[in-house]
């Protein structure tokens, strides 16, 4: 390699140039951080996919996208990939590339087309990870073959239906109800990983479907201890860089950060470290590697290019800087300073929530939906079905039940009529929109997917009956199952992706606020009928206009609850409308309140229920001509005292944590 060069020509290989709404985003915080460091230091940057490789007149070339930063740019250098743009396309001889980072998400096995061309890059350039390393970490069965002596879940590979059924007979855990199915050739981020019930009546068809999708699968023992979180142990050149513990987002079983998991610092025991190092030694061809393992020591898999965000947030360790410092010394004999006088400023609000917007990247769009209120159909992006609206960043506002949309392809599973509207917190999004906050709103009808239920359901006798149902198991006010035609496992998995997105955003916002201000305040906003209808225990009884749910005073610090309730009552009085306010009756808090509230860990939640007749004419109003009409003046009045109560609670939070 030419030691006289001052800068490098660096290429990045991955299936796409962007997996999000950013122009350049390689969908992996480790790769993105290295990309940022390369850009900030002034190296020439190209991007290509495995399909972009070709021979011309005996020479190996890549059709590349040329990436560059704006001439004047100001942001955190470790995040400057967000400012990169594609300025040109050009064929580049592989011999002109000094350094290539290979994400390998479009490389499945040794038979992948154009892999032979990419191998020519290894002859004269530094390739990380090298092809052999990429193939060994992409094959999720390789670890079983290389280190069978370490603790691992019982795992089998299958390429045919008969092999899969035979393997399934040997996978333990039927008493627990689940096993794990993976695409054998995967690249991380939780893609191609599924938890399936042994008792699923359509199990043979499910296996055939995944075999058709993936060609070769892994069947693995499901380890319930994953609920406590798993460990990600990161190595570079054999050096242990750091360890994180990841705990799955509420309602999610996979612990990937891209799926909303929370990450914590973690100190390995000597036995855990010994196991992780044994795996690292077995994959010595990999320079950058993570070992994913359970706290019991069972190793789940190995991955090239682990995420970097957790290491930076938890320890201040920049994986991108460590990697490029070492590589520049190898190729240039020195380290490169950042190529401008850095004026690092706080990111703009849009960039501040990139980790939230990133969560939309794994969803297909657009989606054809039916508005059951207007009976019109639309094509909407997923970000319009599960909305994130950043307004006042001091608190979070969750509106899970206002949606009136059902994807058209699932319409036949329901009998949709005027009664369907009784199951919706109609116009609660309009009621609460002026409150502000970091708003998360489901536009999907709650009887299609209920965001305020546990993903797995519950058998607890301590919970009200309606809170034990699954998100896709909605019972009407008449206590009848709304779902008329059962979903297939594949359909249910697709529907639950909306649920996972909603809760992934909530979990990420909570962690972001805790990191930035030391606490998080979440308001879970609902509306309700003015008289108990159907299955509720207060059937036929008139309700207070506003009900504040606090799990009997346990969901938030007492000062926060007091500030909210006192301000609410104080600001209701001057209007002399006879409006009343109660606490915890008839609703003390649903799943969102119960799942997220943890005052001892600085997460405070208040549920708010407002009767519909406070701001609109209800669907059951005796005057049919007025049904569903908003009471404009009452709406504005209600918005006013709700906003003041929430701001008072937010101020109380701030005082608690700054006093």
Model confidence over 386-416: pLDDT tens digits?
999 887 788 999 999 999 999 999 998 888 8
Q: CA-based angle 440:444:449, to the nearest 5?
A: 100
Which contiguous run of DSSP H or E holds residue 592? helix 591-596
Considering the domain architecture, whether residues 395 and 505 belong to the same structural domain is answered as yes
* Contact predicate 657/519, CB 8 Å: yes
Considering the domain architecture, whether residues 477 and 539 belong to the same structural domain is answered as yes
Give the full edge-to-edge strand order of the sheet including 546-549: 386-390, 438-442, 396-399, 520-528, 603-611, 546-549, 581-583
Q: Are strands 9-13 and 44-48 parallel, antiparallel or unpaired?
A: parallel
State pTM to two decimals.
Answer: 0.53
Q: Which residues of 113-151 are buried (b: 16+ CB within 10 A; e: fewer)?
A: ebbebbebbeeebbbbbbbebbbbbbbbbbbbebbeebe
Q: Which domain, by its residues, includes 192?
A: 154-222
Asked if the bond preceding 419 is cis, omega within 30° of 0, the reply is: no
Considering the domain architecture, whether residues 418 and 452 belong to the same structural domain is answered as yes
Report the alpha-carbon distance of residue 100 to residue 130 in Å, rounded.
9
Report the alpha-carbon distance of residue 385 to residue 434 in Å, rounded.
19
State the chain's mean pLDDT as an integer: 86
pLDDT at 1 over 60: no
Structure tokens belonging to residue 284: 């010595």
Report the alpha-carbon distance of residue 222 to residue 579 in Å, rounded.
52
* Contact predicate 614/638, CB 8 Å: yes
Other CB atoms within 10 Å distance of the CB of residue 394: 20
Boundary residue ending a domain (63, 94, 129): 129
Q: Are strands 126-128 and 99-102 parallel, antiparallel or unpaired?
A: parallel
Q: Is residue 179 part of a domain?
A: yes
pLDDT at 272 over 70: yes
Asked if the bond preceding 655 is cis, omega within 30° of 0, the reply is: no
pLDDT at site 615: 92
Q: Is residue 298 part of a domain?
A: no
Q: Is residue 231 part of a domain?
A: no
Report the alpha-carbon distance of residue 626 to residue 298 in Å, rounded.
62
Q: Give 343's pLDDT tier (boundaries 50, 70, 90).
A: very low
For the segment 21-67, what is each residue's pLDDT rounded down to a tens digit? 889 998 888 999 999 999 999 999 999 999 999 999 889 999 999 99
Considering the domain architecture, whether residues 379 and 426 belong to the same structural domain is answered as yes
What is the domain-level CATH number for residue 215? 3.30.1490.20
Q: Give 644's pLDDT tier (boundaries 50, 70, 90).
A: very high
Structure tokens belonging to residue 374: 């207007």
Q: Is residue 139 part of a domain?
A: no
Considering the domain architecture, whether residues 113 and 165 belong to the same structural domain is answered as no
Tell which residue, 120, 147, 148, 126, has the closest CA to residue 284. Answer: 147
Q: Is residue 560 part of a domain?
A: yes
Q: Is residue 339 part of a domain?
A: no
Domain count within the chain: 3
For the segment 207-235, what is each residue's pLDDT rounded down to a tens digit? 888 888 888 999 999 988 888 888 999 99
For the segment 420-435, what is each residue's pLDDT rounded down to a tens digit? 788 888 899 999 988 8
Considering the domain architecture, whether residues 547 and 621 belong to the same structural domain is answered as yes
Considering the domain architecture, whether residues 48 and 167 belong to the same structural domain is answered as no
Q: CA-based angle 646:652:653, to the nearest 5?
A: 90
pLDDT at site 341: 39
pLDDT at 3 over 60: no
pLDDT at 463 over 60: no
pLDDT at site 344: 35
pLDDT at site 155: 93
Considering the domain architecture, whether residues 108 and 199 belong to the same structural domain is answered as no
Q: Which residues of 516-544 are buried (b: 16+ CB within 10 A; e: fewer)?
A: ebebbbbbbbbbbbbbbbeebeeeeeebb
For the segment 500-509, what is each residue's pLDDT rounded down to a tens digit? 999 999 999 9
Give backbone dihedrals phi and psi of 410, rounded to 5 degrees, phi first.
-110, 5
pLDDT at site 2: 39
User: Where do we find the tokens 């930035």?
Assistant: 516
Considering the domain architecture, whether residues 434 and 533 belong to the same structural domain is answered as yes
pLDDT at 523 over 70: yes
Boundary residue ending a domain (222, 244, 274): 222
Considering the domain architecture, whether residues 519 and 410 belong to the same structural domain is answered as yes
Q: Which of 64-73, 149-158, 355-364, 513-522 has the lowest mean pLDDT?
A: 355-364
pLDDT at site 167: 92
For the segment 77-111, what is each residue's pLDDT rounded down to a tens digit? 899 999 999 999 999 999 999 999 998 888 888 88
Q: What percent of the chain has pLDDT over 70?
A: 91
Considering the domain architecture, whether residues 447 and 513 belong to the same structural domain is answered as yes
pLDDT at site 316: 85
Considering the domain architecture, whether residues 497 and 393 belong to the same structural domain is answered as yes
Report the alpha-carbon distance of residue 557 to residue 576 in Å, rounded.
30
* Contact predicate 52/101, CB 8 Å: no
pLDDT at site 75: 80
Q: Is residue 592 part of a domain?
A: yes
Structure tokens belonging to residue 641: 């005292």
What is the domain-level CATH number for residue 631? 3.40.630.40
Boundary residue ending a domain (199, 222, 245): 222
What is the domain-level CATH number for residue 124? 3.40.50.20
Structure tokens belonging to residue 345: 């400023």
Q: Is residue 262 part of a domain?
A: no
pLDDT at site 342: 36
pLDDT at 348 over 60: no
């Amino acid at each position: 390699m030419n030691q006289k060069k001052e800068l490098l020509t660096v290429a990045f290989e991955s299936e796409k140039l962007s997996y999000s709404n950013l122009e350049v985003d390689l969908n992996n915080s480790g790769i993105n951080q290295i990309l940022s460091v390369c850009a900030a230091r002034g190296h020439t940057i190209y991007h290509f996919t495995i399909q972009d490789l070709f021979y011309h007149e005996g020479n190996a070339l890549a059709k590349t996208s040329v990436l560059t930063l704006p001439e004047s740019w100001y942001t955190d250098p470790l995040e400057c990939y967000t400012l990169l743009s594609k300025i040109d396309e050009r064929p580049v001889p592989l011999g002109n590339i000094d350094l290539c980072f290979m994400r390998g998400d479009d490389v499945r096995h040794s038979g992948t087309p154009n892999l032979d061309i990419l191998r020519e890059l290894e002859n004269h350039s530094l390739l990380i990870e090298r092809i052999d390393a990429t193939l060994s970490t992409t094959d999720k069965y390789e670890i079983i073959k290389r280190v069978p002596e370490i603790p691992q879940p019982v795992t089998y590979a299958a390429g045919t239906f008969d092999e899969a059924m035979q393997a399934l007979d040997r996978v333990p855990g039927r008493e627990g109800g689940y096993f794990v199915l993976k695409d054998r050739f995967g690249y991380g981020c939780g893609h191609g990983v599924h938890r399936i019930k042994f008792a699923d009546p359509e199990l043979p068809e499910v296996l055939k479907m995944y075999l058709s999708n993936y060609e070769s699968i892994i069947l693995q023992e499901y380890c319930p201890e994953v609920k406590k979180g798993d460990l990600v142990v990161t190595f570079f050149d054999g050096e242990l860089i750091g360890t994180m513990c990841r705990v799955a987002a509420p309602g999610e079983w996979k612990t990937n950060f891209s799926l909303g998991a929370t990450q914590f610092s973690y100190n390995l025991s000597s036995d855990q470290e010994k196991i992780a190092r044994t795996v690292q030694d077995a994959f010595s061809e990999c320079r950058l590697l993570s070992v994913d393992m359970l706290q019991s020591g069972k190793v789940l898999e190995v991955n090239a290019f682990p995420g970097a965000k957790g290491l930076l947030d938890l320890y201040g360790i920049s994986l991108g800087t460590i990697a490029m410092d070492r590589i520049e010394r190898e190729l240039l004999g020195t380290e490169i300073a950042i190529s401008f006088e850095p004026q690092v400023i706080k990111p703009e609000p849009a960039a501040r929530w990139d980790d939230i917007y990133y969560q939309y990247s794994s969803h297909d769009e657009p989606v054809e939906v039916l508005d059951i209120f207007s009976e019109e159909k639309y094509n909407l992006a997923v970000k319009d079905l599960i909305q994130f609206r950043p307004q006042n960043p001091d608190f979070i506002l969750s509106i899970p039940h206002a949606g009136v949309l059902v994807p058209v392809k699932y319409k036949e599973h329901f009998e949709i009529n005027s009664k369907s509207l009784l199951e919706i917190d109609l116009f609660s999004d309009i009621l609460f929109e002026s409150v502000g906050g970091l708003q998360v709103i489901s536009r999907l009808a709650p009887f299609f997917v209920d965001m305020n239920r546990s993903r797995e359901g519950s058998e607890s006798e301590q919970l009200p009956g309606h809170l034990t149902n699954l998100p896709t198991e909605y019972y009407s006010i008449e206590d009848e199952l709304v779902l008329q035609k059962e979903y297939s496992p594949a359909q249910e998995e697709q529907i639950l992706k909306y649920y996972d997105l909603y809760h992934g955003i909530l979990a990420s916002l909570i962690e972001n606020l805790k990191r930035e201000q030391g606490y998080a305040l979440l308001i879970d906003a609902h509306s309700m009928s003015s008289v108990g209808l159907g299955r509720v225990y207060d059937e036929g009884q008139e309700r207070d206009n506003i009900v504040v749910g606090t799990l009997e005073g346990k969901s938030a610090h007492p000062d926060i609850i007091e500030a909210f309730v006192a301000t609410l009552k104080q600001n209701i009085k001057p209007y002399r409308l006879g409006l009343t306010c109660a606490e915890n009756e008839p609703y003390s808090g649903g799943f969102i309140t119960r799942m997220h509230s943890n005052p001892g860990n600085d997460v405070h939640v208040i549920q708010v229920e407002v009767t519909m007749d406070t701001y609109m004419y209800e669907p059951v109003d005796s005057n049919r001509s007025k049904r569903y009409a908003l009471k404009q003046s009452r709406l504005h009045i209600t918005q006013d005292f709700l906003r003041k109560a929430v701001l008072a609670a937010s101020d109380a939070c701030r005082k608690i944590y700054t006093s």
